Chains A and B, each alone.
Chain A
């Protein structure tokens, strides 16, 4: 009945406390997670980036070397030398020895006709290039590097052409074909990694070299051309099949080429997995620890709170109880006092009538009058007892520590119960020792202690039972008062809880406060209460109170 608000409070505090502690941990873990993920991604991307950068440099160098060579040949030799088949053959031979990739070499005159040729396609001799675009480009720019194309040949190639113009204004063009596929193959082997591919695209997305994954040279690449960038870039994207790929690329300056490297199976990596698991584990353990500590601490706190609340409630109830008694007492005192005066008049009037009756010599029905007047006197005497008792009860509400004779207080208390005992023919045996030391206590409280125990004793015995009251010296300087009955006795459970507030065996008739109140009183006076009981045999309650003297002058 009480647990619910405490459980609520507990839950709230635990949640607030845990949230305050867990939130920063979560935040930190998230930041860590992202930071690590970035590091790991960069680590994964770097090799691919390096591959593209290196390949780009190599490719640019490769092309630059070859185009310089062609330029040199065009300038270093005269038209006649170049037109000579044998000389051209020798030059081509040296070129092939020095530089890989050259397929053929040709000389084109001013009109665009192929006048000399060394290479596998001698049938091209005499062909006219003047209608072709590259021819015009080389005439303006002196140098030209083509895209990959098939041209008149049947394999993909790149054409490099250089024009030489003499001082006299004569001009000729040296033209060489280079097999780039060969070069790319060597590159992809050099940078070979499993699941990776390196290839060239032009800006229209046509493959300029063979790709491991996306087709042969001059086929359309299914992966879209990435955004223009002359810096090497790495992007996480997916290919035409929707598989995640790591794509690194770079546009080559001064040409139409885009160098692309692709890594498939972009699996997150073992170490990242492990680290992620670690972070998660640490997070979980932290949260668990924080929660446990918070829950434990708050639990203890709430338990203490609950305990102290309960104690306070008990104190309040006891106070309420004694206040109730006190106001009942005051009321009783007022009533008793008010009644005493008319009672005194009745008493005296009846007495006077008796006196008069006695003086009369001959009075008819004297005996009848006499007995009735006696009855009135007796009734008054009973009323007086009652009012005196009520006044005594009221007086007890004011706490005043006195030196008390235990036997006297016991006898006084017994007066309250005599009538009940008589009615139920319960024998009360008193074995009170003489010469006991006095104890310092409030009379009312001591009476309350005895009254409660005696009440319980009377409640426990059947009509005709027996209650034995003993007082004796206990040790050197204490008094033991034991009240024994031969009633029903108590079971273990009752014995265990006898001093707990609100514990009662009397159902509606008891408040459950009696024993707890007297326990408090006896403890306050430095005494103790012993309970000895057996089912069916009876109960003996022994109250031990230390002898006490009032301090001088009190």
Chain B
């Protein structure tokens, strides 16, 4: 659960608007502060202009691919944790993303509890850091 004093600020990047918006709403209900981007370009712009505690990034994106976006974010802010989302469970892309520094790769459809515990873990790590 996010700390009340310091709510976790998330950026969700997914071209499935319905999915992104619904998940954002659910996370908001749980005390997070999510933002949504529907493609890679705007996501990078957001990252450049704002502070986020975590990026939730779909691997399959129109235009800039998820892995490209990941690489750019790593270049800009190496400390910003990125969690990948994929509809293609176990595909090479996920493993490659992890190699490139993604914190984890979560399969779609999501298990919200799994996601939340991952967030808690990441929050704890960043607090310690």
What is the number of contacts between chain A and chain B, taking CB atoms within 8 Å?
65
A384 contacts B by Cβ under 8 Å = yes
B29 cross-chain contacts in A, Cβ below 8 A:
355, 359
State in angstroms the CA–CA spacing of A30 and B60 once bound together.
87
Determine whether the beta carbon of B109 is less than 8 Å from that of A395: no
Selected from B19, B88, B90, B91, the residue in CB contact (under 8 A) with A345 is B19
Determine whether the beta carbon of A355 is less than 8 Å from that of B91: no
Determine whether the beta carbon of A345 is less than 8 Å from that of B18: yes
Determine whether the beta carbon of B109 is less than 8 Å from that of A352: no
Q: Which segment, of B1-9, B20-28, B45-53, B61-69, faces chain A?
A: B20-28
Determine whether the beta carbon of B90 is less than 8 Å from that of A341: no
Q: Which segment, of A165-173, A264-272, A385-393, A460-468, faces chain B?
A: A385-393
A359 cross-chain contacts in B, Cβ below 8 A:
29
Report the minimal beta-carbon distance from B93 to chain A, rounded to whole angstroms: 11
B120 contacts A by Cβ under 8 Å = no
> What mask results when residues 39 to 82 of chain B are scored 1 for a CB within 8 Å of chain A, else 0?
00000000000000000000000000000000000000000000
Q: Which segment, of A220-228, A332-340, A494-502, faces chain B?
A: A332-340
In the complex, which residue of chain B has the Cβ closest to the Cβ of A398? B92
Determine whether the beta carbon of B25 is less than 8 Å from that of A388: no
Determine whether the beta carbon of A380 is less than 8 Å from that of B109: yes
Determine whether the beta carbon of B25 is less than 8 Å from that of A341: no
Known: A341-B108, A346-B109, A359-B29. A392 touches B19 (CB 8 A): no
Selected from A336, A347, A348, A383, the residue in CB contact (under 8 A) with B88 is A336
Report the minimal beta-carbon distance from B3 to chain A, rounded to whole angstroms: 20
Report the minimal beta-carbon distance from B36 to chain A, rounded to whole angstroms: 13
Known: A348-B23, A351-B26, A359-B29. A343 touches B109 (CB 8 A): yes
B107 contacts A by Cβ under 8 Å = yes
A346 cross-chain contacts in B, Cβ below 8 A:
109
**Residues of chain B at interface, number, CB under 8 A:** 18
Report the minimal beta-carbon distance from A415 to chain B, rounded to whole angstroms: 14
Known: A345-B16, A345-B18, A355-B26. A384 touches B91 (CB 8 A): no
State in angstroms the CA–CA spacing of A264 and B25 once bound together.
133
State in angstroms the CA–CA spacing of A218 and B32 once bound together.
155
Selected from A333, A336, A352, A384, the residue in CB contact (under 8 A) with B26 is A352
Report the minimal beta-carbon distance from B95 to chain A, rounded to whole angstroms: 11
State in angstroms the CA–CA spacing of A381 and B114 once bound together.
13
Determine whether the beta carbon of A395 is less than 8 Å from that of B108: no
B88 cross-chain contacts in A, Cβ below 8 A:
333, 336-337, 340, 391
Selected from A340, A355, A391, A392, the residue in CB contact (under 8 A) with B109 is A340
B112 cross-chain contacts in A, Cβ below 8 A:
351
Report the minimal beta-carbon distance from A487 to chain B, rounded to whole angstroms: 33
State in angstroms the CA–CA spacing of A277 and B91 once bound together.
85
Determine whether the beta carbon of A352 is less than 8 Å from that of B22: yes
State in angstroms the CA–CA spacing of A205 and B87 once bound together.
124
Report the minimal beta-carbon distance from A18 to chain B, rounded to whole angstroms: 62
A341 cross-chain contacts in B, Cβ below 8 A:
16, 19, 87, 108
A344 contacts B by Cβ under 8 Å = yes
State in angstroms the CA–CA spacing of A244 and B108 once bound together.
111
Determine whether the beta carbon of A392 is less than 8 Å from that of B90: yes
State in angstroms the CA–CA spacing of A359 and B19 once bound together.
21
State in angstroms the CA–CA spacing of A233 and B23 once bound together.
128
Determine whether the beta carbon of A348 is less than 8 Å from that of B91: no
A347 cross-chain contacts in B, Cβ below 8 A:
109-110
Report the minimal beta-carbon distance from B96 to chain A, rounded to whole angstroms: 14
> What mask results when residues 83 to 107 of chain B are scored 1 for a CB within 8 Å of chain A, else 0?
0000111110000000000000001
B residues near A (Cβ < 8 Å) are 16, 18-19, 22-23, 25-26, 29, 87-91, 107-110, 112
The 3 closest A-B pairs by CB, nearest first: A340-B87, A347-B109, A348-B22
Q: List 22 A-B contacts (CB under 8 A).
A: A333-B88, A336-B89, A337-B88, A340-B107, A340-B108, A341-B16, A341-B87, A341-B108, A347-B110, A348-B22, A349-B18, A351-B22, A351-B26, A352-B25, A355-B26, A359-B29, A381-B109, A384-B109, A388-B89, A391-B89, A391-B91, A395-B90
Given contacts A349-B18, A395-B90, 10 further A-B contacts (CB under 8 A): A343-B109, A344-B110, A348-B19, A348-B26, A349-B22, A351-B112, A352-B25, A381-B109, A391-B89, A395-B91
